[in-house]
Structure 1
Amino acid sequence: MSYPFELDGETLWDAGYHSGQLYASLARGAAEFLELPSGLTPNAQGGCDVDLEPFRVFVERLYELYTSTRNEVLHGLAHGLLATSLVLLERAGGAVALTPPYAAVLLEEKTSLAHSMAV
């Protein structure tokens, strides 16, 4: 069973059921923490629809949180969600400008994750 993330009927990520549910839950919690919508809406097919602009803003704000904290726990908690979100955002046709010193690590992780995230 899968948990697809779709934009205008195109599958961006055909996540495994548990991976998709966990990602959507983490994104929902982070969006609540950031006080903005995640851009992810559960759909009748058992996955999520991606609304590009709110999702781009969500990922941008998550990146700002990630790059602005010196708190190792907060940084670690945001890292996996951010890397996965960057892959999904890129597949949706969006992007967030990554800056040093974080760009290299996130680009490497994004590339690695993208290979594991079935379309």
Structure 2
Amino acid sequence: MSQYFEVGERVLWNPSAGVSQVFVRAADSLSQLVDLPSGLGPMVADECELDIEAFSRFIDRLACRYARSTHVILRSLMEGFVATGMVLVERGGGELPAVRSSSDDPGIAALRELSRHHDRAMPR
């Protein structure tokens, strides 16, 4: 069984139910870290609607927090989620202004590279 992350009628990602549950729960946890709503709606009939503006702000803030952190474990726990979120923002037509303005930051560059890898592994 799979679930769908969507913006309107556009499917951004179609992961398995287990992967979807981990992603949604991680979003809930990380939203508390940066004190922003995730922008993910509830999973209804195997579909989750993204508020792309709120989700983009959330991912942008997380990416900046990741880049500023020197805590190895925090960065490790965040990086997979943030890279996956960056793919969803791009697919959904959102913007990551702080990420774009920090393009020469090594942490941001690493997230971009990982997001390219994730993009190839994320079915629609």
TM-score range, shorter chain: over 0.9
Counterpart Cα distance in 2 of 1:48 and 1:31: 17
Identity of aligned residues (%): 32
**Relative to 1, partners in 2 of residues 1:13 and 1:101: Cα closer, same or farther, differing over 3 Å?**
same
Q: Residue 108 of structure 1: CA displacement?
A: 1.8
2:114 equivalent to 1:109: yes
Counterpart residue number, 1:35: 35
In the alignment, structure 1 segments of 5+ residues that lack a partner are: none
Alignment of 1:39-58 (within 5 A): 39-58=39-58
Alignment of 1:93-104 (within 5 A): 93-96=93-96, 97=100, 98-99=102-103, 100-104=105-109
* Secondary structure at 1:42 match in 2: strand
Number of equivalent positions: 119
* Secondary structure at 2:3 match in 1: strand
Counterpart residue number, 1:4: 4
| One-letter amino acid of the counterpart of residue 87, structure 1 | V
RMSD: 1.3
In the alignment, structure 2 segments of 5+ residues that lack a partner are: none
| One-letter amino acid of the counterpart of residue 64, structure 2 | E
Q: Deviations over 1:50-105 (max 9, x none)?
A: 00111011001101110111111111111111100000110001132152212432
Structure in which a larger fraction of residues adopt helix: 2
TM-score (norm 1): 0.93
2:62 equivalent to 1:76: no
Counterpart residue number, 1:87: 87
Counterpart residue number, 1:22: 22
Counterpart Cα distance in 2 of 1:118 and 1:11: 10
Counterpart Cα distance in 2 of 1:82 and 1:43: 20
Q: In terms of mean alpha carbon deviation, does 99-108 or 57-66 score higher?
A: 99-108
